[in-house]
Amino acid sequence: MRSRLSDIVVIVAMAIMTLIAGTEIVQRTLDDDPQTAPAVITEPTPRTVVITPVPSTPSSTTSTTLSPTTTAHDALQADLAVLELPIDTPCQEWAPLALKVGWPQEELVNVLKEMWQESRCLNIIPGDDRWNGHDHGPMQINQVWKEEVAHLFGSWERINKPEVNLAMALEIWRWHDANRGCGWEPWSRPCR
């Protein structure tokens, strides 16, 4: 008898809930005030960060005359010739950008060698078959830096842009250099 009574109580409760839900559906169907315009979603404006290179050595007054360039490759080669990097330095195509974001000239060879070690000079980001799911870009910035990247550059997704990637690597290097005595510590590169 008890089980029949509890079954009846459950059936009555379900019937009441069905009536309430049905009434709500009918009322929404008959309502004359449907939404006529699509919802507008606005993205938050990212903060602008200006990265100003700080010269670490006095600039030279020597001038170099370059012949006119006709292709992007020729222009890059002309830029690299001015840098005078050892010929066996990998990733030299990234040297102008590394200097642009503020890497010191005396660390340039280390930056490029580390880039070779980390990504073989490639901008490995989500969607690339070689992406490991954690590290981003030419300097392979790990997702543990997500909050700092968002704070400095507006959003974590910007780490996939090579300029932001190199700038964040520089921030990490500077902090470790100032606070731990070796800027290359996060990359396990020996310091002098």
Q: Each residue's pLDDT tens digit in the chain (192 positions)?
A: 667 888 888 898 888 988 888 888 877 777 665 555 565 666 666 666 566 665 555 555 544 455 555 676 665 565 555 678 999 999 999 999 999 999 999 999 999 999 999 999 999 999 999 999 999 999 999 999 999 999 999 999 999 999 999 999 999 999 999 999 999 999 989 987
> What distance in Å separates the CA atoms of residue 95 and residue 87, rounded to the nearest whole number?
13
Q: Given CA atoms 100, 101, 102, 106 in this order, what sign does their dihedral have?
A: negative
- Provide the residue type at 105 as one letter: Q
What pTM value is reported for the model? 0.60
